[in-house]
Amino acid sequence: MKTVNVAIMGIGTVGGGTYEILTENHDLLLKTQGIDFKVKKVLDKDISRIKRFGIPESAFASSIEDIISDDEISVVVETMGGVEPAKTFIEKVLLSGKSIVTANKELIAKHWPSLEQAAKKGKAGLYFEASCVGGVPIIRALQEGLQANNIEKIIGIINGTTNYILTKMTEENMSYAAALKEAQNLGFAEFNPTADVDGFDASYTLSILSSLAFNTCIPITSVYREGITGITVEDIAAGKELGYVIKLLAIGKKNGTDVEVRVHPAFVPVSHPLASVGGSFNAVFVKGDFVDELMFYGRGAGARPTGSAIVSDIVYASKRTSPLYTTFENNGKLDGSVNISGDLTSNFYISVSVKDIPGVLSSIAGIFASNNVSIESVVQKGKDGIAFIRFLTHAAKESEIRRAISEFSELDKSNRVISMIRVLEN
- Same-domain pairing of 43 and 173: no
Flag whether 331 is in a domain: no
- Same-domain pairing of 213 and 172: yes
- Same-domain pairing of 282 and 369: no
- Same-domain pairing of 216 and 73: no
- Same-domain pairing of 151 and 183: yes
- Same-domain pairing of 255 and 160: yes
* Whole-structure pTM value: 0.93
Q: Are 271 and 249 in contact (CB under 8 A)?
A: no
- Same-domain pairing of 211 and 291: yes
Flag whether 330 is in a domain: no
CATH of the domain at 250: 3.30.360.10
The residue range of the domain holding 270 is: 138-299
Q: Which residues share a beta bridge with 126? A: 100
Flag whether 322 is in a domain: no
Which of 131, 163, 182 lies at the terminal end of a domain, its last residue? 131
- Same-domain pairing of 276 and 386: no
Which of 131, 154, 188 lies at the terminal end of a domain, its last residue? 131
Question: In terms of Cα–Cα distance, which of 14, 316, 20, 301 is closest to 134?
Answer: 301
Flag whether 324 is in a domain: no
CATH of the domain at 399: 3.30.70.260
Q: What is the mean pLDDT of each run of 10 residues along the chain (426 residues)?
A: 95 92 96 96 93 92 96 97 95 98 97 97 97 94 95 96 95 94 87 94 97 96 95 93 96 94 96 93 96 93 89 96 92 90 88 85 89 91 84 93 90 85 88
- Same-domain pairing of 169 and 122: no
- Same-domain pairing of 166 and 294: yes
Helix axis angle, 360-370 to 398-411, nearest 10°? 140
Which of 299, 318, 336 lies at the terminal end of a domain, its last residue? 299
Give the chain's domain count.
Answer: 3
Flag whether 287 is in a domain: yes
- Same-domain pairing of 107 and 159: no
Report the pLDDT value the prediction gives residue 411, as an integer from 0 to 100.
78
Flag whether 160 is in a domain: yes
- Same-domain pairing of 17 and 116: yes
Flag whether 19 is in a domain: yes
Flag whether 333 is in a domain: no
